[in-house]
Structure 1
């Protein structure tokens, strides 16, 4: 946690991953993020993984350092309170549809400089999820072997959208400070995905070649990189991403003669051009496989480290959590004891490191409705009697 956004307040009405990530990243840098949920929790409140009681570990980690207001959004009075909160704060992050009671044009009717950042599926409002978007933009067609698509389990487009959404929100806030103008930022997952694909050069590549890339299995596109197995059965990912690392890999495995043989056989030089090496990757991989299979993992690591070649083991998450650099001695993590699930465990704070500032510990997620009374009094100036009426009639909810 870093106190860099202490003057920013944000209403968040969101579920699942992308939109909550916008609020999470802002909260980790000190913004006052007020999450508004349906009383009892929204559709992601019990999303797996959960404990025996059904408390979601995903929810409580995507909503750290936020405040929680609970309203009955199925009733008009609850929706009206939410609209008033949005207009009072002036900044909203949501994945609710662009048409509805939180439509930007309705909010800005009561506050001209209103800012809304809205995560969507398709630009026209049609539904899409990270997993369908990933299938649609072609990445499962590049992974694995054979003809069947291979999905991956990381919702990458959701997290990229969340990060881009936090950036776009701060850009809109800066514009408002300079001009007094608000506005809506729409973030369709499909556009985030296709824009990112284009930024990686893949659209230009398809236009140039007229076709898609072949499946590469575990090989890295455009360079020499793949998984290999050592004599003692350890599987290691090795990537020689540039000329220096390629030459280091050749020295580490004593492959000068073997590489010279490949160069003579193919009539090419394997020095100085990643593209040439990539085109002859199968022959190079065969040489690497033989050399690596003859030595232990410990010996391989020692040799690669001496030559500065990038490598890493294949871990399960439990194994990764034994690594002091990744986890046990990583200052990113601090013990979190007051989580809604009741489980104490190391939790991630702000992911960035700012050497000039003190990193403060991760802050727990709120209980649903934990700050309802506080926020209604503070932001809407409601008297205690009116807040009590809202709670008694079920319009507002408070934490047990």
Structure 2
């Protein structure tokens, strides 16, 4: 059965995380993704984090289901190749500084005129408009401006970052949503494409729940709260007898009553002040103290067993070793078996969301730099002599030479 995005061609001009992450998701559901990288160096992500044989193992996740075209976009010949590819593409993804593509003659107005069906996803720190549009914007800046960094960490201590590039990933997810909406619009409106403008800070801000209305109405500035969830009680981490932490979310009204029964505090379960969340929130310290006292007398496994039996949402804090050992991850194909270019086995994250009829899949491993240059250029009718000339001048690169 065809995948949802079979027949859709994506041209990826982005680097590192946000743009490539969006293209990765589209590729997992059937889109053909042609990734353009600079000759010689390739996408900087190839050298990020831990390297195997000179290439990041992160690359194996971010670039699966993609083809690599090593092409210098700063050269007129490279820009012309992009125009020829964009003329046949459905989607173009880029996350350069706003104005960069315009300087190369590859901006939205030019490409839309060339291919009115084209959908262009533009991911940047601050968006394509506004007084900050020209500022360099990385994920951590988006996380800070979007309000997330202020809430991260313990009260009275410096803000901490989430341990992954969450700002970039959130922007990518919003970008995928925007692309799918634009595809639907194109289907409904005679094939007309559009530009999708995604800013990192806005993608983070969109996750900030009630932050703005609380400030608007009450002038309340929410502060860091460590492991608790302010205003929603109980929802916290509680240390157990073995020094491990149990995460407990007993904030539903009926769940709270079951939780109190488990810890032997029927008096709290029967207290009308605690019947609903607003009342419980006013007494969060008292409730947390009662749960904490109970948890300290039991091991983490014993705490979770009792809570699960009572149908109370609870869990442990997983590290990656816990994830790899967990049978639920395996049962839902969230850990996939693959191998690197030299045959080294590697486990990669599974694919989400899970569609019942047309699930995503890993069709091909991440490519070497320029692995598909010859094939893509040949498909455009660019002859071997021209390709040889371009390679000698550094405009293109063929084959996986840069992987060595």
- TM-score, with structure 1 as normaliser: 0.89
The yes-or-no answer on 1:280 pairing with 2:290 is no
- Asked if 1 retains the 8 angstrom alpha-carbon contact of 2:42 and 2:369, the reply is no
2:337 corresponds in structure 1 to 335
1:149 corresponds in structure 2 to 159
Return the offset for 1:162. Answer: 0.7
Return the offset for 1:52. Answer: 5.0
What residue ranges of structure 1 are gaps of 5+ in the alignment? none
1:125 corresponds in structure 2 to 134
SS at match of 1:40: coil
1:353 corresponds in structure 2 to 354
- Asked if 2 retains the 8 angstrom alpha-carbon contact of 1:228 and 1:289, the reply is yes
1:204 corresponds in structure 2 to 213
SS at match of 1:353: coil
Deviation digits for residues 105-136 of structure 1 (CA, Å, limit 9, x no counterpart) = 22234223332110011132322222112122
Q: Distance in 2 between matches of 1:393 and 1:343?
A: 34
SS at match of 1:387: helix
Q: Distance in 1 between matches of 2:313 and 2:246?
A: 10
Q: Distance in 2 between matches of 1:225 and 1:341?
A: 46
What residue ranges of structure 2 are gaps of 5+ in the alignment? 128-132
The yes-or-no answer on 1:269 pairing with 2:278 is no
Return the offset for 1:11. Answer: 0.2
Corresponding residue to 2:185 among 167, 175, 187: 175
User: 1:356–1:90: structure 2 CA closer, same or farther, 3 Å change rule?
Assistant: closer
Return the offset for 1:304. Answer: 0.6
SS at match of 2:365: coil
- Asked if 2 retains the 8 angstrom alpha-carbon contact of 1:44 and 1:59, the reply is no
Q: Distance in 1 between matches of 2:363 and 2:264?
A: 47
- Asked if 2 retains the 8 angstrom alpha-carbon contact of 1:15 and 1:44, the reply is yes
SS at match of 1:179: coil
Q: Which moved more, 1:340-349 or 1:247-256?
A: 340-349
Deviation digits for residues 81-110 of structure 1 (CA, Å, limit 9, x no counterpart) = 123222232420011233222311222342
Q: Distance in 1 between matches of 2:241 and 2:72?
A: 62
- Asked if 1 retains the 8 angstrom alpha-carbon contact of 2:141 and 2:201, the reply is no
Q: Which moved more, 1:66-75 or 1:349-358?
A: 349-358
CA RMSD of aligned residues (A): 2.3
- Asked if 1 retains the 8 angstrom alpha-carbon contact of 2:8 and 2:89, the reply is no
Corresponding residue to 1:245 among 249, 255, 276: 255
User: 1:27–1:384: structure 2 CA closer, same or farther, 3 Å change rule?
Assistant: same
Return the offset for 1:295. Answer: 2.1
- TM-score, with structure 2 as normaliser: 0.88
Corresponding residue to 2:265 among 252, 255, 259: 255
Q: Distance in 2 between matches of 1:153 and 1:297?
A: 24
Q: Distance in 1 between matches of 2:181 and 2:241?
A: 53
Return the offset for 1:254. Answer: 1.6
Number of corresponding residues: 388
1:193 corresponds in structure 2 to 204
Q: Distance in 2 between matches of 1:29 and 1:240?
A: 37
User: 1:359–1:59: structure 2 CA closer, same or farther, 3 Å change rule?
Assistant: closer
2:222 corresponds in structure 1 to 213
Return the offset for 1:2. Answer: 7.7
User: 1:356–1:160: structure 2 CA closer, same or farther, 3 Å change rule?
Assistant: same
